[in-house]
Amino acid sequence: MKSNDLIPFICYGAGGHAAVVESAVIKGGEYYIVGIADDGVPAGTRMIHAEVFGGKDQLSKFLETGIFKMHVAIGNNITRKKIIDEMKKMGFEIITIKHPNTIVEVKTEIDDGCFLAAQSVVGARAKIGHGCIVNTAAIVEHDCILEDCVHICPGAHLAGDVTVGEKTMIGTGAAIIPGITIGKNCTIGAGAVVIKDVKDNATVVGNPGRVIV
């Protein structure tokens, strides 16, 4: 879907999440993917339109030709942060991708390297750290704070004034009541209802949510 009016970038990652990202890019009309980097997928593998060209050892040639924008399309928070850090050191600019059906309210702050999927909502005065994913139909309401490399999975809802620590995953369909603080490196299970604060490194499941790890 190349056009002289679109901005070229490299997508890092060729899994299912990357396909969601490419679909948003196609619909968005701002960027196009010149190629996909992935060390674990054979060169020539097609995602939607874009193809894998190889792994990290092939990236320097893009910098040499002036293509320095990249989006890291990896769902796993720890891996995504690792790759983002590596790509920044190489000299790439890590960009944010927004589906055109995303709703972003006023006075929000969205850092670099984020992905906002179709029908996601970021409420007024929310702050989204770098490398975060707000996935399909997820809601991050007013005054929420997401630290770096958080993943809000499809259909999860964060009410107002919720804080989520770095590299935490809020599972599909989970609900967090207003004013809750969730720590770093946590996993909130699918459908969990969180009604009290959660410490670092915890796994929470159920309704009401209970810590199991």
Q: What is the pLDDT of residue 106?
A: 97
Rounded average pLDDT over 140-150: 98
**pLDDT score recorded for residue 1:** 42
As given in the structure block, the two tokens for residue 11 are 């997508």
Sorted by sequence, the CB contacts under 8 Å of residue 55 that are 6+ apart come out as: 37, 38, 39
**Topology, domain 7-95:** Rossmann fold (3.40.50)
Alpha-carbon distance of 34 to 177, in angstroms, equals 41
Q: What is the pLDDT of residues 163-177, one digit of tens each?
A: 999 999 999 999 999
Q: Which CATH number fits the domain 96-203, given the four candidates 3.50.50.60, 2.160.10.10, 1.10.30.50, 2.30.42.10?
A: 2.160.10.10
The string of pLDDT tens digits covering residues 100-127 is: 999 999 999 999 999 999 999 999 999 9
What's the pLDDT at 5? 85
The percentage of the chain sitting over the pLDDT mark of 90, rounded to a whole number, equals 97
Q: Which residues of the chain form CATH 3.40.50.20?
A: 7-95
Q: Is the pLDDT of residue 2 over 60?
A: no
